[in-house]
Structure 1
């Protein structure tokens, strides 16, 4: 029993040292995918048909193919392209962490864009008309009316997508990235203790996701105006009878 606990402690220490790599992939991919999804959402409501076509094509391609296949195509496939392999871009595409972040950014942006597009369609039209009636310009209407409502509507689904992205970072181990899963596979190759190592890795993923879920839930409650206490209306003064 003591030897078993010692092994678990040693494995956990090795896996913890790989947590920054997992968090780096998640942070870079999450931020870039959100920015890209914002642009795709704007393209989906553009007046010109070309941006809408580009948005629909992007969504169709990256939602319709597996993320692991996209990672392989970027890491192994682009290495076969001469102008990439022999150009200045090779310094980036030879890095498996960069390729993972690029693949996750492209894939997850398609899902987040659909979340934003659905939230945009759910923004009450009355709020927009009220803002226009108050004389708001297009940018002011976006900043003060549309964006706050869109964020509140999209946040629950967006939070779920972030949790899914956290689990998807484990696919980076398939192209030699030493994240939590990659280190776990290395330890298993030397110790042959599959269950113990994967249980320790699963515990770390659970801890990361529990922390993210708590933070996102707190943000969701903070932005939920329906749960905010409504201030009491002032009591009108008592009318005295005229003498």
Structure 2
């Protein structure tokens, strides 16, 4: 593989370190999402994403690496092209989802998280923007830059990272934390799919952080008792009691 094998068609996204391009392979005529990154970039996030992708993730609900290659100045990740937009786009369009639709996506995301954990990888960046829909309507988890490798289920981490609305309370409080943070993240996304906003959302970041740490979880009517039970167990502040 080399750059001349691909025709770059348009920019389809922007990451922390550059653009994501839609490209067509000149020989097999397949479409791919291409992430060119400076090869001398020593960012830990880039190296983590590279390491995770090069593990050859084999899961239907995880974005997979098709090819990778390097030139003098650029490192190329050639990924599956997923053309159904992300969950953030669909939530902006629809407001919230009917419960069967939310359950469908949550189940697929849960199996993806379980697979990552079986490889001793903690995801740490659950949010609607990182969940794409493919042409069949299935959820695909993408963007592995905040992953942590080599973590057993009873292992701990301490790096403060993630997106404010979806942070687990133990991360916010500066405590060491376990892979259970991913299940809190799933709970926040499921809540948003059902109700239209993350569970403790506030325009004031300080107020939001206070509510994530201490506020009672409010579950409005309109969803089943099973869904409310699931949300209560995923959004459990006690890590040892949290569903996972």
TM-score by length of 2: 0.29
Higher relative contact order (CA 8 A, sep 6+): 1
TM-score by length of 1: 0.29
More strand by share: 2
More helix by share: 1
